[in-house]
A and B are shown apart, each in its own frame.
Chain A
Amino acid sequence: MAKKQLVRVKVNGRDREAEVEPRLLLVHFIREVLGLTGTHVGCDTSHCGACTVVLDGKTVKSCTMFAPQADGRELLTVEGLIKDGQLHPLQEGFKEEHGLQCGFCTPGMLMSSYVLLQKNKMPSEEDIRWGISGNLCRCTGYQNIVKAVQYAASKMEQGGAK
């Protein structure tokens, strides 16, 4: 076993640190070391996007990074979307527009949509479809996920959360 390495990250606004094996995948660091199990693993080839988190403002597939690569950086996971007990408009949108069924892809979908809306405040349907194209869903056929993101975009435009 290789020498353990200290990883310090800011996760959902909180400083966290742990000594881990250098080969530990970021997704396992998040799920098993930090105990944030909202981020899921759905494949082993970086295709499904269930493990998507936001790292320094960009989406990453946390199954495709080692935990030490996140050292000193800032992470946002699905658990960090809720603010002061208030759901993020995207979370509301997914519920209102029936954008989920089994819920397994949902955290990854939320994080990809979150970054999309940071970059593009009023995305077209096509923009949204491309924006979530790194995330697979087996239940919804994506249609209501598109509506959920549109719901959130409108709500945020009306002066809601960021």
Chain B
Amino acid sequence: MQQTSPEIGGMGHSIKRKEDSRFIQGRGNYVDDVRLPGMVYGQMVRSPFAHARLKSISTEKAKQLPGVLAVITGEDLAKANLAWMPTLFFDKQMVLATGKVLFQSQEVAFIVAEDRYTAADAAELVEVEYEELPVLVDPHKATDPSSPILREDREEKSNHIFHWEVGDKAATDKAFQNAAVKASVHAVFQRCHPAPLETCGCVADFNSATGKLTIYMTSQAPHAHRTLFALVGGIPEQNIRVVSPDIGGGFGNKVPIYPGYVCSVVASLTLGRPVKWIETRSENLQSTGFARDYHMTAELAADGNGKIQAMRVKTLADHGAFNAAAQPTKFPAGLFSICTGAYDYPNAFCEVDGVYTNKAPGGIAYRCSFRVTEAAYLIERAVDVLAQQLKIDPVELRRKNFIRPEKFPYPSPLGWSFDSGNYEAAMNLALEKINYQELRKEQAEKRAKGEFMGIGISSFVEIVGAGPAHTFDIAGIKMFDSAEIRVHPTGKAICRMGTKSQGQGHETTYAQIVAQELGIPAADVVVEEGDTDTAPYGLGTYASRSTPVSGAATAVAARKIREKAKKIAAHLLECSEEDLEWEPGKFFVKGAPSKSKTIQDIAFAAYTNMPAGMEAGLEAVDYYDPPNLTFPFGTYICIVDIDKGTGEVKVRRFIAVDDCGNVINPMIVDGQIHGGLTEGLAIAFMQQIDYDESGNVQGGSFMDYLLPTAVETPHWETDKTCTPSPHHPLGAKGVGESPNVGSPAAFVNAVVDALAHLGVQHIDMPITPWKVWAILKEKGVVS
């Protein structure tokens, strides 16, 4: 790849972010900042019960409160056939409850009032009579004959949603029969919530004069959402405009369509006024897309030397009250089948069963490419358990089993083609940086003194950047993505995308791709996303797909422009195209570098002096369908010290070596790694949405859903190796999710390693001080 100057600021330059100027001045435009004339406010009434029949709803008192404009119930929506809406995964979900409620905080009625305080007052005045029903919380009991059937609306009277399996069962079972060593781990990846700092919300604005509905919403996928509103609501698609303004973090939480959006639209259509609905934090945690809740068992079969021969996985997936998983249509368990990891063995079999429980619906891909986090955690835990059983250093076990660099593209036993990788190089760099051998010595000394120190390793592989379109779609819409570049006469450009940043820095990184390919300085390129009236159609930003798919589209669109630019340059220089060579920013005549035309000269000529027969302008659009996914990887090493008096785990050091191929902006990549590791830390030690036996949410506010502050968060050390993707036009891979995918296993492996000599093989997350202290007590270390 040609290196551009810092002034141009193409790939590899850590240029400062364009979007920052408005954010540091408090002049971002998030959805709650949208204020329209005549705007009114929506407020949900929610169920206090996890499972109850709705006996009656009385809205009279609420309607009488001055300032209240409407109270909408499920029965009202049913008249317009909108009481239920389809989920993204072959199920349907109640918009407002009819008949019964299925989880605590489920939406029961929607108030619209002149201001948000009145709306909140009115919510208290809605009288709902419930008859409590038996509650199903434990997914393992979902198919017990004694458990209540939750979904009376379904033809199939069962709490079982799906069974999915992949791999060669017979060959895998045979490998296990013949194996010298078998290791197994049962690991629960607890239910957690992405909890972006901005909650979900919208302003729905129906203009009865023009017939146009504009929806400002916290959407990671504005184009797909527009189409879904058109399909479900019956509103002509040209009359819907979805605008995703600045988004205060998404992490997958802002992929689904939630009842609040739908009710706001209905209210605006009914009242002819803009309706704003903004969730509180508690509503966000208790009702919108949760993640994980995978109850997994992994087994590894190996020979006596530790060479892995097969993997077998059985998983129970708790989807809550509705299967609102945000996943590609053909993959009920997402890309969980990446669970074979970074290791080379011929046989694997994986099965997943999904069930309903009386919990909030989901699950979404929380900073994760559709269940990759669960998969990476599982294999990296299982490998450590195998190492423990074989009494082999976990580093050596990994080294022995890694897929060798020359085997790429590597066909995985569960059907993927890994594009490129050099797993051992990444691990070696991490080991060297952390001085692994010395740490093992220190650990032995500490153990002799009765102190607890652990070293955790995770060598993960991800699968990100869906499509290809022939395999991947969301609700039928193929997972391509797009870019449209328009170069202005003065050589400046605007680039519009089908994706939508929620903090990833797209306004900067896409500009750098244009700079790389066209030599137009990144500072001269404006990037716009999120307005469906102006941006080209795309599937949005989640699952680390922006760089793999829209980034590729940007490069291809820029190359189309360069092809035209070459014709114009030949015309201006009066030579043939074959005589021209390109360097970032200009074409010059081979052997006569002084005879050149800059991209700015060419852009001007595209509007003022084009060759005869050529159409004016300099622009291109590309809808990119990736030939494969990209497979970023890395090795993370975590060192922990445990205070045996309190059970507190302190992360002493954490080194992250990532390989995401060619990097667009190293500063932004590093920032993403820091943030993802912090979320991984939170998942490993703090975050959990739990339920008591009555289905009450434990972890439904920031009082008890714990997020790390700067004090709990350690200093992260980062480094990288570079193994470009062979099929991506820029050799790039996705990266934003790697640290969240790869790190939970590193943390847990470190804590288990610290306690391994006591016979501890596994601890479920979140690893709280109490859990550690209880183990130390059980093992007789403390009394």
Contact = CB atoms under 8 A, between A and B. Distances in A.
Contact of B503 (A39, A45, A102): A102
Given A45-B281, A129-B711, A141-B678, A101 B504 contact: yes
B199 interface: yes
Q: DSSP majority for the B interface?
A: loop
Interface in B26-59: 26-28, 30, 32-33, 35
Nearest to A81: B25
B134 interface: no
A50 B707 CA distance: 14
A62 interface: no
Contacts of A100: 20, 23-24
Contacts of B30: 37, 40, 104
A31 B35 CA distance: 11
Given A38-B26, A82-B25, A138 B716 contact: no
A146 interface: yes
Given A37-B33, A102-B503, A106-B24, A42 B667 contact: no
Interface stretch (B303-311, B397-405, B486-494, B668-676): B668-676
A21 B117 CA distance: 10
Contacts of B711: 129-130, 133
Contacts of A91: 24-25
Interface residues of B, number: 58
A103 B248 contact: yes
B713 interface: yes
Given A45-B701, A95-B16, A110 B24 contact: yes
Q: DSSP majority for the A interface?
A: loop
A43 B679 contact: no
B612 interface: no
B220 to A, nearest CB: 12
A102 B671 CA distance: 11
A140 B281 CA distance: 20
Contacts of A16: none
B199 A128 contact: no
B702 interface: yes
Contact of A102 (B27, B249, B280, B702): B249
Interface string B370-414: 000000000000000000000000000000000000000000000
Interface in A107-122: 107, 110
Contacts of B668: 98
Interface string A114-152: 000000000001001110111111111111111000000
B168 interface: no
A45 B280 CA distance: 10
B1 interface: no
Interface string B1-30: 000000000000000110111111111101
B209 interface: no
A96 B16 contact: yes
A131 to B, nearest CB: 8
A103 B20 CA distance: 8
Contacts of A40: 30, 32, 197-198, 248
B177 interface: no
Interface of A: 1, 21, 23-24, 28, 31-32, 36-45, 47-48, 50, 77-79, 81-82, 87, 91, 94-96, 98, 100-107, 110, 125, 128-130, 132-146
29 contacts: A1-B66, A39-B26, A40-B248, A41-B32, A42-B197, A43-B281, A43-B702, A45-B282, A45-B702, A47-B702, A81-B25, A87-B24, A87-B25, A101-B504, A101-B671, A101-B672, A102-B249, A102-B502, A103-B248, A104-B249, A106-B24, A128-B710, A136-B709, A138-B249, A141-B674, A141-B713, A142-B713, A143-B674, A144-B674
